[in-house]
Amino acid sequence: MTIQSSCDDIRVLAEAGICTITFNRVAKKNSLTGAMYLALAGILEQAAGSTEVRVVLFQGDASVFTAGNDLGDFLHGPKPDENAPPFQFLQALATFPKPIVAAVCGPAVGIGTTMLLHCDLVYAGDNAMFSLPFVNLGFCPEGASSLLLPQLMGHQRASEALLLGDPFMAEAALEVGLVNRVVPPTECNTIAQAQAAKLAAKPLASLMASKRLLKSGQMAAVQSRIAEEGRVFADLLQQPAAKEAMQAFMEKRKPNFSGL
Encode pLDDT of 186-198 as tens digits.
999 999 999 999 9
| pLDDT tens profile 197-250 | 999 999 999 999 999 999 998 999 999 999 999 999 989 988 999 989 988 988
| pLDDT tens profile 46-78 | 999 999 999 999 999 999 999 999 988 877 766
Residue 110 banded pLDDT, cuts 50, 70, 90: very high
SS3 102: strand
Residues β-bridged to residue 12: 21
Alpha-helical runs (H) found in 65-203: 71-76, 85-94, 111-114, 145-153, 155-159, 170-176, 185-200
Mean pLDDT of the region 153-173:
97
d(CA 102, CA 115): 9
- Is a pLDDT exceeding 90 seen at residue 147? yes
What is the model's pLDDT at position 249? 85
What is the model's pLDDT at position 83? 80
SS3 140: coil
SS3 182: strand
Contact 119, 148 (CB under 8 A): no
d(CA 203, CA 50): 15
**What percent of the chain stands above pLDDT 90?**
88
What is the model's pLDDT at position 96? 98
Stated pTM of the model: 0.96
- Is a pLDDT exceeding 80 seen at residue 82? no
**What percent of the chain stands above pLDDT 70?**
98
Residue 167 banded pLDDT, cuts 50, 70, 90: very high
**Average pLDDT value for the chain:** 95
C-alpha closest to that of 40 among 3, 1, 82:
3
- Is a pLDDT exceeding 70 seen at residue 181? yes
List Cα–Cα distances, 222 to 43, 114, 152, 166, 183, in angstroms: 21, 12, 14, 24, 30
Crossing angle of helices 85-94 and 219-237, in 10° steps, is 170
d(CA 64, CA 30): 7
What is the model's pLDDT at position 71? 84
What is the model's pLDDT at position 78? 67
User: What is the sign of the dihedral through the CA atoms of 29, 31, 36 and 38?
Assistant: positive
**Complete edge-to-edge strand list for the sheet that includes strand 107-109:** 107-109, 129-131, 168-169
Please name each of the domains of the chain with its CATH number.
10-183+212-250 (3.90.226.10)
| pLDDT tens profile 30-47 | 999 999 999 999 999 999
List b or e across 22-48, with b for residues whose CB sees 16 or more CB atoms inside 10 angstroms: bbbbeeebbbbbbbbbbbbbbbbebbb
d(CA 25, CA 50): 26
Contact 208, 98 (CB under 8 A): yes
